[in-house]
Amino acid sequence: MLQNGVDLSVDLCGIRLRNPLILASGILGTSAALMERVGRGGAGAVTSKSCSPLPRAGHPNPTVIKWGPGFLNAVGLANPGVEAQVEILRETRRRLVDVGVAVIGSIFAETVEGFARVAETLSAAEPDLIEVNISCPNVAHELGAPFSSAPESAAAVTRAVKAATDIPIIVKLSPNVTDIAAIARAVEEAGADAIAAINTVSGMVIDIEAARPVLSNLEGGLSGPAIKPIAVRCVYQCYQAVSIPIVGIGGVSSGADAIEMIMAGARAVGVGSAVFWGGVEALGRIAQEMADFMSAHGYRCVSDMVGLAHRPSSWQPSSIEVGVATGRCI
């Protein structure tokens, strides 16, 4: 897709996105109508809310609070179950086929075998990609430690899902670990087609008048601009560890934020909390801001910028080198 004479399209696991901006899971991904609005508003792809083998009610309220430059949530992975999600994804694909927006189905489960079953069932909807959510921080009291907590468990889920579907999978990693690069390597070796970094950051807010945590779940996941430096650091470390594409997620609310994530090593960029402030047109605005920056700085395509921040510190930009950074757009 050409904007301001630059090519914003990217290849993600063989799927061509018109731009690198993806509606993150859990943000307006609950119905086909909402995902259609975001897609027509300028997204390159939309991700549905994570679904499980059976319907799940989630946590009682309060589940989401605005905190400073972000949100703290513990929705608890409420969803209608994979059977209902198949119909939602089919309808979403039908509504977006004329726009060329890719559709990503997101899954989670309580067991490795459950991940395989839900992936197999969801594949009937033929989403372009499947996000494997092994990293939600808000359900540990019920489901145990997230599978993203250790390389072995993360790899076990990845192998099971790969065996259950032919659709490319994106494994979503957690920042709440000591060494995210080691887990990225493990899921790549287990067959992941891409990784997403990051899920929300564990946190807590206490009401000092009530003298207790605000959220009913006590803990929640922090998202929004407050976590962007953490997300950029995680993407940077993963880029050094793996060769598969990375979807950078966490606090992106402007074209500059998206480009920062891409220069850290992301091939595509997830957008979530920005939709709350900017509406369904937020992704289209961010895409235009990216195109303006690229045109002003001589970048022809997104791939010219992927991983640029990894160059040696002795490197100095020049007007000639920036304009012909690489030979081929991917």
CA distance 202 to 177: 11
Measured CA distances, 147 to 110, 150, 246, 296 (Å): 9, 7, 19, 43
H or E element at residue 269: strand 268-271
Q: What are phi and psi of 289, to 5 degrees?
A: -65, -35
Specify whether 136 is catalytic: yes
CA distance 284 to 280: 8
CA-wise closest residue to 12 among 137, 157, 159, 167: 167
Cis peptide before 213 (omega within 30 of 0): no
In the block, tokens 């002003």 appear at: 296
CA-wise closest residue to 247 among 196, 199, 204, 296: 196
Q: Which residues pair with 15 in a beta bridge?
A: 12
DSSP label of 301? B
Alpha helices (H) along the chain: 32-40, 82-96, 112-122, 140-143, 151-164, 180-189, 228-241, 255-264, 274-278, 282-297, 319-323
> Left if phi > 0, otherwise alpha if psi is -120 to 50, otherwise beta: which for 159?
alpha
**Catalytic residue among 136, 234, 238, 301, which?**
136
- Tell me which amino acid residue 284 is: G
Measured CA distances, 80 to 53, 107, 230 (Å): 9, 12, 31
**Positions marked catalytic:** 136
